[in-house]
Chain A
Amino acid sequence: MENQKNSSKKYLNPYLGGVLLGIVILAANFVSGRGVGASGAIKSAVVTTVNTIAPKHAENSIFYQEYNESHPKPMKSWLVFQMLGVLVGGFISGAISGRLKLKVEHSPKITSRRRLIFAVLGGILFGFGSQMGRGCTSGSALSGMSVISLGGFITMAAIFGTAFVLAYFFRKNWI
């Protein structure tokens, strides 16, 4: 059956994947005039939610006020649509390779719950970091490095450097 043949080569060669990702960033720059990103789309969603649910809080906070002044329609941004495309593309790629399964991927040594708790904690820290650094790995680091921006290199070094240094303390989650 075709499904079995496909599942034996589930993942693309990582070097080839990297080259394709670089071509995607080039194409994004050509099509939209800016690189790719991820945390910007989430920021748009968060700001829209806060504006709808708690407009008073949004008015009183400098963070939301500054963003709302420069972005009258937060959801109408390239990044939001790009993020939708990422979801669709990831889904199709998973469907083609037979990887479509609702599950939590974790090391066999820990439970799903522990994995999810650490994912949430890490996500919260990453949220802070991406706002302080004006971007995450794809927006600031990858797209920034692709236009030889110094900030991009610093962000990349900081993200991966910190990860290398602190990985020893979290090794039990993986090995």
Chain B
Amino acid sequence: MRKIILLVLLLILAIIISFPILFMLGGSIMGNSELSSYLSPVLNDKPGFVHWSLIPNYPTLSSFVALLLDSPEFFVMFWNSIKITFVILIGQLIISVPAAWGFARLKIPYKNALFNLYVILMLMPFQVTMLSNYLTLDKLHLMNTHYSIILPAIFSTFPVFIIHRFFCSIPESIMEAAQLDGANKLQVFLKLGIPLGSAGIVSAMILGFIESWNLIEQPLAFLKDKTLWPLSLYLPNIGLELAGIAFAASIVAIVPSLLIFFGGQEHLEAGIAASTLID
């Protein structure tokens, strides 16, 4: 009985939490006239209040057709997002994994102080570091290029923090046993550390993907040329007359994140749990 009540309660909460997705799904198959009638009070300054229907009166796929066949700029931004995201992920793999191993396993003077500095930097919002980033990128002549987004993200502290937790959980005795067998430090890292910490690495990649896929502030601040904009900046440029396309674009934009999430769901749970433990 308790389980049923709990289940019902959780279902209700789940539905409520799913409302934004359901709104988006319903709006993506509505015609423009129906959307205008619902959204005019807020987007056209008409009197009255916004009202909405989860199930459209006149469903149509015209928004998807217009988006996928008549909006080439959407695909430019989509592939920009793919490029930025995957280059960031590869960069983070190359940079963050060894950094996390170093913090977890190596005996470096002032290692803890440095790691605490990492954590402090990780906690700082973008607005705090934006100006210093801007000046640095400008000096490096990287403004208005994808590298202005990619390079700071590659050297992000968050994946280091996540992977570090997993590397810390590997027992020291395994390392010692490997060293006794003649493995050097690089072999221990490559053959033992990475496989044993793969869960953390995967969860860091997934979180990194979601973060990179939804970047808004950095592209707005550092990219002036619209041909370089990622998909996250496509939506703010659409008004009431293209509301249907806006909903369809939202659905298409959310698909990669959903698929990545389903692909690494197990590791993501572990990663989120690890990220909440800040020693």
Q: Please say whether chains A and B are actual partners in one complex.
A: no
**Which residues of chain B have a CB within 8 Å of any CB of chain A?**
none
